[in-house]
């Protein structure tokens, strides 16, 4: 290596231009203690509703994994440990908002009115699983970060049509590395879109940990470069995530544009049922993360407020189990769609030139029946 012969350059001529700061929202600590006053929306009833849904989400999740493990469903991305994230989103969204999900939003989907059996149907490899849910909501999005540009388009449509709703999109921490993420935040700032971007920062993009994904200390600060509001929340605190979305909605209504919310969570399970997280993280790390998980913390808070008892817990667990089992039965009773159904809904009007391909399929089916 050549020795540096030049004198180091001293910083000169600088003057302050701008300073940025970021805030974090948290209400409940990991032991279920209130760090500040309970916000007015978080009534007794609200807290119990949130808790019950988080439990349902977890029961659904473990059943879905069991279905995959026993060969009754396809690859499934668990939302274990991220129940506060999905529940807060589902509860904060209004009926006519546009929800643009990624693929780990089972908790939110259930609150949006998706049938549990349809979620299983989707992960069970059947397009009909994407047919339910509110008309304006997007189907589950697998290509990472692409959904955020659609959400920006949906938000632009709301603005063009003069409607008051918001478009809310979810994305993982890995997704924030992609161009679509930056392009969408950028246009949301330039056009002051009623867009809420909620990052489920669960610390891993399959095997790649957050600190390798990005050199910035927070993902929330990506908002600054786009000229939109950014905030970090404790994603295991359902009250905090909900509060952040309420503020974002108000910002959108006041025509002050978009918000990026970085929700700090931890993916307690594998990336999907096809993944083995023990290859890239230690048991000790996961054990520590369990101390932070969202359900226990809210349960403790409910106990302290005398809103939840062991009997209620037992009864609710049983009820969730029954509800999920019923959905599983519905799912398992749905016969696979016809082979020809792959040709359905390709275009609104069937292109006659494709008749030939239907004939090819019919021949193939005939051969399979006579083997």
Partner 1 sequence: MSQHHQQPVPVTQECTLLEAVNLALHYEMHHDESVVVLGEDVGTNGGVFRATSGLKETFGFKRVMDTPLAEALIAGLSVGMASQGLKPVAEIQFMGFIFPAFEHLFCHAGRMRNRTRGRMTCPMVLRAPYGGGIHAPEHHSESTEALIAHTPGIRVVIPSSPARAYGLLLAAIRDPDPVVFLEPKRIYRGTKLNILNDGQALPLDTCFTLRTGTDVTLISWGACIADTLEAADALSEKGISAEVIDVATIKPLDIRTMIVSVASTGRCVIVHEAARSFAVGAEIAAQISEKCFLNLLAPVQRVTGFDTHMPYFKNEQYYLPNSKDIVAAVDRCFKEA
Instruction: State the minimum distance, in angstroms, from the CB of residue 158 to partner 1.
Output: 7
CA distance 266 to 202: 4
Instruction: State the minimum distance, in angstroms, from the CB of residue 126 to partner 1.
Output: 10
CA distance 241 to 263: 7
Q: By C-beta, is 124 or 269 nearer to partner 1?
A: 124
Tokens of 17: 């231009």
Q: By C-beta, is 55 or 260 nearer to partner 1?
A: 260
The one-character DSSP state at 22 is -
Instruction: State the minimum distance, in angstroms, from the CB of residue 209 to partner 1.
Output: 26
Instruction: State the minimum distance, in angstroms, from the CB of residue 184 to partner 1.
Output: 7
Which three-class secondary structure state does DSSP give residue 171?
strand
Q: By C-beta, is 97 or 237 nearer to partner 1?
A: 97
Q: By C-beta, is 62 or 177 nearer to partner 1?
A: 177
CB 203 within 8 A of CB 266: yes
Catalytic entry in 58, 104, 112, 267: 267
Q: By C-beta, is 285 or 337 nearer to partner 1?
A: 337
CA distance 136 to 153: 12
Instruction: State the minimum distance, in angstroms, from the CB of residue 181 to partner 1.
Output: 11
Biggest CA pair distance of the chain: 84
Tokens of 77: 């991305």
Q: By C-beta, is 322 or 344 nearer to partner 1?
A: 344
Instruction: State the minimum distance, in angstroms, from the CB of residue 347 to partner 1.
Output: 5
Residue with tokens 């805030």: 23
In the complex, which residues of this chain contact partner 1 (CB under 8 A)?
Answer: 98, 100, 127-128, 130-133, 135-136, 138-139, 143, 146, 148-158, 160-162, 167, 179-180, 183-184, 186-187, 190-191, 344-349, 351-354
Instruction: State the minimum distance, in angstroms, from the CB of residue 360 to partner 1.
Output: 11
Residue 213 sits at the vertex; the CA angle it makes with 295 and 62, to the nearest 5 degrees, is 30
- Told to judge if 271 belongs to the known catalytic residues of this protein, a careful annotator would answer yes
- Told to judge if 280 belongs to the known catalytic residues of this protein, a careful annotator would answer yes
DSSP 58-126: HHHHHHHHHHHHTTSS------TT-HHHHHHHHHHS-TTSEEE--SS-HHHHHHTT--HHHHHHHHTT-
CA distance 215 to 264: 16
Among candidate residues 44, 45, 80, the one with its CA nearest the CA of residue 294: 80
Catalytic entry in 112, 251, 271, 297: 271
Residues labelled catalytic = 267, 271, 280
């Amino acid at each position: 290596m050549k020795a540096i012969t030049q004198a180091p350059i001293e910083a000169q001529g600088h003057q302050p231009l701008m300073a940025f700061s970021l805030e974090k929202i948290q209400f409940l600590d990991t032991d279920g203690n209130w760090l500040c006053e309970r916000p007015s929306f978080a009534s007794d009833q609200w807290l119990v509703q949130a808790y019950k849904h988080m439990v349902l989400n977890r029961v659904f999740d473990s059943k879905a994994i069991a279905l995959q493990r026993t060969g009754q469903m396809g690859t499934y991305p668990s939302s274990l440990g991220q129940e506060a994230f999905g529940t807060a989103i589902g509860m904060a969204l209004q009926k006519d908002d546009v929800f643009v999900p990624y693929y780990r939003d089972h908790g939110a989907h259930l609150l949006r009115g998706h049938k549990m059996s349809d979620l299983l149907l989707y992960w069970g490899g059947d397009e009909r699983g994407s047919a339910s849910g509110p008309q304006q909501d997007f189907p589950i999005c697998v290509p990472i970060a692409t959904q955020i540009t659609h959400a920006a388009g949906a938000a632009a449509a709301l603005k063009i049509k003069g409607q008051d709703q918001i478009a809310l999109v979810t994305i993982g921490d890995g997704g924030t590395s992609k161009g679509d993420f930056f392009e969408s935040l950028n246009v949301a700032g330039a056009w002051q879109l009623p867009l809420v971007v909620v990052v489920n920062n669960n610390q891993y993009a399959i095997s790649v940990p957050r600190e390798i994904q990005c050199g910035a200390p927070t993902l929330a600060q990506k908002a600054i470069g786009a000229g939109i509001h950014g905030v970090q929340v404790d994603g295991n605190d359902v009250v905090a995530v909900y509060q952040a979305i309420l503020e974002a909605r108000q910002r959108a209504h006041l025509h002050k544009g978009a918000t990026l919310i970085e929700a700090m969570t931890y993916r307690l399970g594998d990336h999907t049922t096809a993944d083995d997280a023990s290859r890239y993280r230690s048991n000790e790390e996961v054990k520590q993360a369990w101390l932070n998980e969202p359900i226990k913390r809210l349960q403790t808070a409910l106990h302290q407020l005398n809103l939840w008892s062991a009997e209620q817990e037992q009864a609710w667990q049983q009820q969730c189990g029954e509800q999920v089992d019923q959905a599983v039965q519905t799912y398992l009773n749905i016969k696979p769609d016809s082979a020809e159904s792959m040709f359905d809904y390709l275009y609104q009007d069937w292109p006659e030139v494709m008749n030939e391909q239907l004939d090819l399929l019919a021949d193939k089916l005939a051969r399979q029946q006579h083997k």
